[in-house]
């Protein structure tokens, strides 16, 4: 009788002839998540098993697997030979000492002499004889004993389901470049897109010395949190100080946010194309701040020439975003009091509904290409 962790995947089973590809990527991601922990992973027709690990590492393994996208659910199970006596022995091990229960059986091995209903009835009957404090309730049981009869002559017996992260395996949906700030929204946006299977690289703009190095460190920590879900990431850090200084010196200050945002999008597109990213991802939520009105978003989008811009939080309110930030473990870092470049040179009355004609007129005062070129030369890349 061996303790194993049973992993059930999420949407992969819908992939038809492409399923093998998704399973291979999923398996690679599982291995990455458990790097440094003694274990073996085996695939079993729609299931994955983590085996040969130290039992005192069980909770650690579950915590790491809980950040792997593509997992529907997990169970800590006992693996035994497909024999009714051995299955019953394992069922006794996972069974509570009293209360109502039911037995649910999945029989992948169709050659076994009993079908699923018969196995459940047999094991349930034996448990009732073994412990008089138990009673059967198939409608609202206090606990469920699961039996999974596999094709290789082994059976898995368990009594708990741990919900997984869901989604699709990271690496099956291309690569995106996330504009990440030190706030709450952008890490959540990256998390949501990674959940759909996309590799994520991050781009952060800083305004040193107007912002301190603690603001930079805060973003690195946020990118590290995101990297736990995205199987690692790269963080590109680019200075926007000279751009903000030029805008402040030569342009109408009320357009600072709009003009800076357009520069960020131009630089993001060029970097994305350079690193092989196929889209730009932002944490914008419609109407949340001045730059996120539909007019502001239209202004930002108008400088993008060839890539789509994904805004997964566009219809979310702040409470929903905060809830997701807490769930992914980023919130406490995001609220640290270190401000990013978007808080530098903030106008008292930013333009909320800029027109393209007005914005372009202000941009004529700037050497756009020279400022972009200088920004790209400042790039620093960290692998997390």
- Give the model's pLDDT for residue 241: 93
Of 104, 160, 101, nearest to 135 (Cα)? 101
Classify residue 209 by burial, with Cβ atoms within 10 Å: 0-12, 13-18, 19+: exposed
pLDDT on residue 45: 79
- Residue 236: Cβ-neighbour burial (10 angstroms; 0-12, 13-18, 19+): buried
Going along the chain from its start, the domains and CATH numbers come out as 2-163 (3.30.2130.30), 175-383 (3.40.50.620)
Report the distance separating Cα 325 and Cα 329, nearest Å: 6
Could you tell me which residues come within 8 angstroms of residue 41 by beta carbon, excluding any fewer than 6 positions away? Answer: 27, 30, 31, 34, 48, 49, 50, 51
Contact 72, 9 (CB under 8 A): yes
Q: How far apart are CA 199 and CA 277, in angstroms?
A: 9
Of 222, 205, 223, 306, nearest in space to 264 by CA: 205
3-state helix, strand, coil in the chain (%, to 5): 45, 20, 35
**Nearby residues of 276 by Cβ (< 8 Å), 6 or more positions away:** 175
Would strands 71-81 and 2-9 be described as parallel, antiparallel, or unpaired? antiparallel
DSSP reduced 3-state for 313: coil
**Residue 68, Ramachandran bin (φ over 0: left; ψ between -120 and 50: alpha; else beta):** beta
What is the distance between the alpha carbons of residues 276 and 303, in angstroms, rounded to a whole number? 19
Task: Look at residue 44 in the predicted model and tell me its pLDDT.
Answer: 82
Per-residue pLDDT, 16: 83
Distance CA 123, CA 103 (A): 7
What is residue 344's predicted lDDT score, i.e. its pLDDT? 62
Distance CA 185, CA 51 (A): 38
Nearest alpha-carbon partner for 245 in 340, 364, 341: 341
Cis (ω within 30 of 0) for the bond into 165?
A: no
Of the candidates 101, 99, 105, 98, the residue with the CA atom closest to the CA atom of residue 139: 101
What is the 3-state secondary structure of 241-254? HHHHHHHHHHCCHH
Q: Could you give the CA distance from residue 27 to residue 242 in angstroms, rounded to a whole number? A: 45
Please classify residue 215 by burial: count the beta carbons closer than 10 Å to its beta carbon, then call 0-12 exposed, 13-18 middle and 19+ buried: buried
Q: How does 154-185 read in b/e, with b if 16+ C-beta sit within 10 Å?
A: bbbbbbeeeebbebbbbbbbeebbbbbbbbbb
Q: What is the DSSP code (8-state) at residue 173?
A: S
Strand, coil or helix: 208 = coil
pLDDT by position in tens, the chain (length 384): 999 999 999 888 888 888 999 999 999 999 999 999 999 999 987 889 999 999 999 999 999 999 999 999 999 999 999 999 999 999 999 999 999 999 999 999 999 999 999 999 999 999 999 999 999 999 999 999 999 999 999 999 999 999 999 999 999 999 999 999 999 999 999 999 999 999 999 999 998 887 788 889 999 999 999 999 999 999 999 999 999 999 999 999 888 889 999 999 999 999 999 999 999 999 999 988 767 889 889 999 999 999 999 999 999 999 999 999 999 999 999 999 876 655 566 676 788 888 889 999 999 999 999 999 999 999 999 999
What is the pLDDT, as a whole number, of residue 291? 73
Tell me what pLDDT residue 121 has.
96
């Amino acid at each position: 009788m061996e303790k194993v962790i049973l992993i059930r995947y999420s949407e992969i089973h819908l992939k038809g002839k492409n399923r093998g590809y998704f399973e291979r990527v999923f398996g690679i991601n599982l291995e990455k998540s458990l790097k440094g922990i003694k274990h073996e992973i085996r695939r079993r027709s729609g299931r994955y098993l983590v085996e040969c690990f130290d039992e005192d590492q069980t909770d650690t393994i579950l915590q790491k697997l809980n950040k792997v996208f593509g997992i529907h659910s997990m169970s800590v199970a006992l693996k035994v030979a497909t024999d009714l006596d051995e299955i019953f022995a394992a069922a006794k091990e996972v069974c509570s000492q009293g209360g109502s229960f039911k037995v649910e059986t999945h029989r992948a091995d169709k050659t076994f002499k009993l079908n699923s209903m018969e196995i459940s009835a047999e094991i349930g009957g034996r448990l009732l004889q073994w412990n008089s404090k138990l009673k059967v309730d198939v409608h609202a049981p206090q606990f469920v004993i699961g039996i999974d009869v596999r094709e290789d002559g082994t059976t898995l017996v368990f009594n708990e389901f741990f919900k997984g992260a869901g989604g699709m395996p990271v690496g099956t949906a291309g690569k995106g470049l996330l504009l990440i700030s030190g706030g709450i929204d952008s890490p959540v946006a990256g998390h949501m897109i990674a959940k759909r299977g996309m590799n994520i690289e991050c781009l952060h703009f800083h305004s040193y010395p107007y912002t301190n190095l603690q603001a930079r460190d805060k973003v690195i920590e946020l990118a590290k949190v995101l990297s736990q879900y995205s199987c690692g990431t790269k963080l590109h850090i680019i200075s926007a100080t000279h751009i903000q200084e030029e805008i402040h010196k030569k342009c109408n200050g009320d357009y600072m946010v709009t003009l800076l945002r357009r520069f960020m999008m131009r630089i993001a597109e060029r970097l994305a194309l350079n690193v092989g990213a196929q889209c730009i991802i932002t944490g914008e939520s419609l109407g949340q701040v001045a730059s996120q009105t539909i007019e502001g978003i239209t202004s930002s989008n108008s400088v993008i020439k060839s890539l789509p811009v994904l805004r997964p939080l566009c219809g979310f309110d702040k409470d929903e975003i905060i809830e997701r930030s807490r769930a992914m473990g980023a919130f406490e870092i995001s609220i640290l009091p270190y401000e990013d470049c978007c808080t530098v040179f903030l106008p008292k009355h930013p333009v909320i509904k800029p027109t393209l004609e007005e914005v372009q007129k202000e941009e004529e005062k700037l050497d756009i290409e020279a400022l972009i070129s200088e920004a790209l030369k400042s790039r620093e890349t960290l692998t997390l």
